[in-house]
Amino acid sequence: MYTVIQPAALALDATGTPWSEQFGDVYHSHDGGLGQTRHVFLAGNGLPERWRDRRRFVIVETGFGLGLNFLATWAAWRSDPSRCGRLHFISFEKHPFSGADLETLHRRWPEFADHARALHARWPALTPGLHRLHFDDDQVCLTLFFGDALDGLAQVSARADALYLDGFSPALNPELWSPRVCHLLARLCAADATLATWSVSGKVREALGHAGFVVEKAPGFGGKRQMLRGRFTRRADPVPEPTDRQALVIGAGLAGTAVANRLATRGWRVEIIDSASRPGQGASGNLAGVLRPLPSLDDNRLARLTRAGSLYGRRHLEALATCTVPPRWEACGVLHLARDPVHEAKQRQVVELQQAPADYLRFVDKDEASRIAGWPLPLGGWWFPGGGWVEPPSLCEANLLSVGAQIHRHFGNTLDCLERRDDRWHAIASDGGSIASAPVVILANGVGIRQVAEASPLPVRSARGQVSHLPAAPGSVPRVVVCRLGYVSPAIDGQRCAGATFLVDDDDPAMRLDEHRENLAKLDFILPGFASGLDPAVLGGRVGFRPASPDRLPMIGAVPTGERPAGSTLLAHLPRHPGLFAMSGFGARGLVWSSLAGELLASQLDGDPLPLERDLADALDPARFLLKPARQMRAEE
């Protein structure tokens, strides 16, 4: 069920200290927020000393609030010449501030002006779930969970080195200091994790003790005589660390270049293989694709994943703007029209019940929809102001160019098979020669994954899609993407895209007149009368083959061997091919999912905290099909 996010209200108490109306408490000490942060949370956790010369350091905070703890920690990290290689900061917030209110609040600390500006520029839409933001050339990673911390702590996958316990007063916000929260925090802790908090409540000390922490009182900050420090004393499973950070990526489309990019930013050496002469020439080769989510009334997994993927994908596009050849895209907005009056009522109900922020989603009636589209329409629908179109091949190229020499290209090489010897995978060409090798191989080769013997347990199907290209004058309507059982793009280089067909297990690569007719019929359904006068016999277009999965969700993770030991009921029990991973099953949503999928798989391979909730990561595991009857897979979502 969707969690409505109620933003925090900007308010000050009589002393001018930021105040929470929801909890009736101040956001930081009256003696100074920054002093409290440095004394309690940084010094209380032995920082910056404890992160020095480490490859990665992970901090978990229970209340993001003003973001002051994050800004101060980031600034301390940046000024430390012996800092860790990557800093992960994970925080939870039930009532986040709007970006505009954060800008107002952060003016109080001009010493963090540069950091604050970067945070404001990436501040996510106030929608529920995990949001991952990258800073300082991807060396600093902020992962925010908007919603109840109890829900978020149960869903986060991480190993924390330090805890900042910074909720409102235990008397006013007891849930955030409960025994349940303390045990959830303990689940996230590394063996040597520390904690610090300004609270010395007896109930808090008792709950932490039962969860496995040894705590002690220490001198407090300002007028508060004492604070609390602690250390986790129980055993914790270590995060597996890769010993040889090399990967071989098969396929240079949206999936392959996305994971290559995310691994390279972590310092991995990547060999990428594709039979084409440049990236993005297979299913990722269309002139334009659509970036937008797909909400649902019950906020099912498909809705959550398309929301997370669209928001992360847009931030990734913005981050690539400084690339020597940036991706071509435009946040022109996406108008998703209702199919019929019943569907229109459901779309309106989704927006009313979920109370989504207007900069992310709002319902528009037929008159406003007609103005947005520049065309008379019979019904309204969803308007996504931050959505838009992307030219996929340009995104593929930018993914590779932005990380430079970390990625070695092997284009014009066709994979025949894989061989594993001496703990390395070798990509073998048809002549028997080895194209490249690495301890880790990632299959991101679209429908070509079906020809890889080791991936035979994956139920990947091929879906033929034909897009029609229509002549279009610059600036002609529609100037936004419009969807309604199909899509039509704005004018791009004198033509617009319309389509697309979706035919499963049809391998014919030829352009078809009947599919042009189908696309024009869809266009006429989207914009009534728009297709009048267009001759399908003279239209250009493109045919591609997209890998699809039975449950409409992508496959991201370790490839199963296909064996199912007796009694296996959990994904963790299923055997996997060592060092073999898949990124497949995106269907028609490659643009929506590829960037986040790349970050997810790179995080799994490098031992980082995951950018997705645990249940969603499990829902994408390629081995899930071994645990599900085929009928159940088809019925889901």
Query: Taking the chain, what is the end-to-end CA distance rounded to the nearest angstrom?
Result: 14
Helix ranges (DSSP H) in 67-170: 68-78, 99-106, 113-122, 149-155
State the residue for tokens 């994970």. Answer: 90
Q: pLDDT tens across 279-337, in order?
A: 999 999 999 999 999 999 999 999 999 999 999 999 999 999 988 999 999 999 999 99
Helix (H), strand (E) at residue 427:
strand 424-428
Distance CA 410, CA 397 (A): 14
| SS3 per-residue string spanning 156-182 | CCCCEEEEEECCCCCCCCHHHHCHHHH
- Are 628 and 458 in contact by the 8 Å Cβ rule? The answer is no
Q: pLDDT tens across 381-434, in order?
A: 999 999 999 999 999 999 999 998 999 999 999 999 999 999 999 999 999 999
How would DSSP label each residue in 12-47?
A: B-TTS-BEETTTTEESS-TT-HHHHIIIIIIGGGTT
- Are 552 and 637 in contact by the 8 Å Cβ rule? The answer is yes
What mean pLDDT value characterizes the chain? 95
Provide mean pLDDT across the span 23-33.
85
Report CA torsion sign: 179, 183, 184, 188. Answer: positive
State the residue for tokens 């279009």. Answer: 472
Provide mean pLDDT across the span 576-603.
97
pLDDT more than 90, % of the chain: 90
Q: pLDDT tens across 142-183, in order?
A: 999 999 999 999 999 999 999 999 988 888 899 999 999 999
Instruction: Using pLDDT thresholds of 50, 70 and 90, give the confidence band for residue 631.
Output: very low
pLDDT at position 629 is 61
pTM summary value: 0.97
Distance CA 562, CA 488 (A): 41
Count other Cβ atoms within 10 Å, centred on residue 7: 15
Distance CA 259, CA 450 (A): 20
Residue type for position 504: V
Distance CA 555, CA 620 (A): 5
Distance CA 30, CA 13 (A): 10
pLDDT of 39 over the 70 cut: yes
Distance CA 447, CA 255 (A): 12
Q: pLDDT tens across 530-550, in order?
A: 999 999 999 999 999 999 999
Domains and CATH numbers, the chain: 19-232 (3.40.50.150), 246-282+394-458+553-635 (3.50.50.60), 461-548 (3.30.9.10)
Helix (H), strand (E) at residue 297:
none
Q: pLDDT tens across 190-232, in order?
A: 999 999 999 999 999 999 999 999 999 999 998 899 999 999 9
Tokens linked to 51? 């992160």
Number of residues that this document lists for the chain: 637
Give, in degrees to the nearest 5, the angle at Cα 601 between 595 and 606.
Answer: 120
Q: pLDDT tens across 479-525, in order?
A: 999 999 999 999 999 999 999 999 999 999 999 999 999 999 999 99
pLDDT at position 637 is 40
pLDDT at position 105 is 95
pLDDT more than 70, % of the chain: 99
pLDDT of 635 over the 80 cut: no
Residues near 1 by beta carbon (within 8 Å), at least 6 away in sequence: 298, 299
Sheet holding 388-390, edge to edge: 289-291, 388-390, 329-330
- The reply to whether omega before 500 is within 30° of 0 (cis) is yes
Q: pLDDT tens across 92-126, in order?
A: 999 999 999 999 999 999 999 999 999 999 999 99
Tokens linked to 57? 């350091």
Count other Cβ atoms within 10 Å, centred on residue 45: 24
pLDDT of 439 over the 70 cut: yes
What distance lies between CA 52 and its chain's CA centroid? 29
State the residue for tokens 């927020």. Answer: 33
pLDDT at position 633 is 44
Q: pLDDT tens across 243-264, in order?
A: 899 999 999 999 999 999 999 9
Distance CA 205, CA 434 (A): 60
